[in-house]
Structure 1
Amino acid sequence: MENAEFLKSISLFKDLDDTETRAVLALAKQRQLGKGEVLFDEGSAGNEFYLVKSGKVAIYKKVAGGKKRNLANLGIGAIIGELSLFDCSARSAMAEAAEESVLVVFEIGPFRECLEKLPAMAVKFQHQIILTLCSRVRDTNEKLNQSVLWGFKAQV
């Protein structure tokens, strides 16, 4: 799949016009990960965000005893590390290739500069990212609800 076609297939970028798409593509780099290769660690600086072009990336949270708890498995079209666009906090989880993967990589600084230069694009992009984050909050709430119900049933 051509890079422009791939980008337009991602909800965050689907509303961009040709000029905006070219501006975003000019910032894009590609990175290959082997199975088990760590993309970033929990607590590391968030200087980039990623789109999964092929493969799968697992998101883990470190828990007691140094073990990892799987939070999500993200496949083609998923965005990873997008919170770094909005704050400078450390990564809240770790990301690791669950299989051979190809990622499209965007550095936060240049991407923010692009959004400042193209305000119409910024509005489109931010609208889509808000929808993505809302969906993730709803999914998390549902998982939490199921966890609470499971715990309650176990006590009865």
Structure 2
Amino acid sequence: MMSSNFQWYIKKQWGLSEEDTLKLQNFYEKRSLEKGEVLLQIEEFSNEYYFVESGLLKSYSYSSNGKEHILQFAPENWLIGDLGSIHLKERSSFYVEAIEDSLVCIFNESFFDELSKLCANFRERNEALLHKHVRHLNHRINLLLGASAEERYVDFLKLYPNLSKRVPLRLIASYLGITPESLSRVRKKIAHKEF
């Protein structure tokens, strides 16, 4: 029986048997985080990915005037990490922080080295996940450049269907690139619609 969300995720995404999934346990660690705890600082070098077992993380940066910009939310069963730092050996361009008390699985390239030995079609599955990630980022950029506040909020609700009650409105507004006041107006306008 699967003992964690991460083991279930590995089995599902990579098509592994339960036995092979359990072999990977030595290649990641679990860590409890308190609300507000920062996993990754801006300008740090990182080689770690974070899988959210329970709780909620965010990645964010600050503009020169001190305004917070939310790049991503990572609820249960989501991965988060700075790919530029991990793969290109650059300093991190954002922070990763727990919004709620959380439990994360932390792993690095050694995990993928071992996974590639267990998964016959590792390269194809990995490329498919990467393409999906790039498609998501392109969609998000397109929304930020040209969509209305209402369209961006509706997209947020579809992408993160259970977060609107867990995340403070100011953080959602930051993710959407609008003010909290604008978000309140949008929420009132679409309150009767279902998504």
What's the offset of the Cα at 1:150? Answer: 4.9
Matched with 2:105 is: 104
What's the offset of the Cα at 1:9? Answer: 3.0
Q: TM-score, normalised by structure 1?
A: 0.75
Letter in structure 2 aligned against 1:38: V
**SS of equivalent residue, structure 1 residue 58:** strand
Taking a change above 3 Å as real, the CA distance of residues 122 and 44 of structure 1, as seen in their structure-2 partners, is: farther
Q: Name whichever structure is richer in strand by fraction.
A: 1
Matched with 2:137 is: 140
Taking a change above 3 Å as real, the CA distance of residues 131 and 82 of structure 1, as seen in their structure-2 partners, is: farther
Taking a change above 3 Å as real, the CA distance of residues 48 and 150 of structure 1, as seen in their structure-2 partners, is: closer
Query: C-alpha distance in 2, partners of 1:55/1:19?
Result: 27
Unaligned runs of 5+ in 2: 149-195
What's the offset of the Cα at 1:115? Answer: 4.6
Q: How many residues align?
A: 146
Q: Deviations over 1:37-62 (max 9, x none)?
A: 11101221112211100000011022
Contact persistence 1:32–1:102 (CA under 8 A): yes
Query: C-alpha distance in 2, partners of 1:20/1:82?
Result: 27
- Describe how 1:5-154 pairs up with structure 2 within 5 A: 6-10=6-10, 13-81=13-81, 83=83, 86-108=87-109, 110-115=110-115, 118=117, 120-121=118-119, 123-124=121-122, 126-150=123-147
Q: TM-score, normalised by structure 2?
A: 0.62
Unaligned runs of 5+ in 1: 152-156
Aligned residues with identical type, % of pairs? 27
- C-alpha RMSD of matched pairs (Å): 2.8
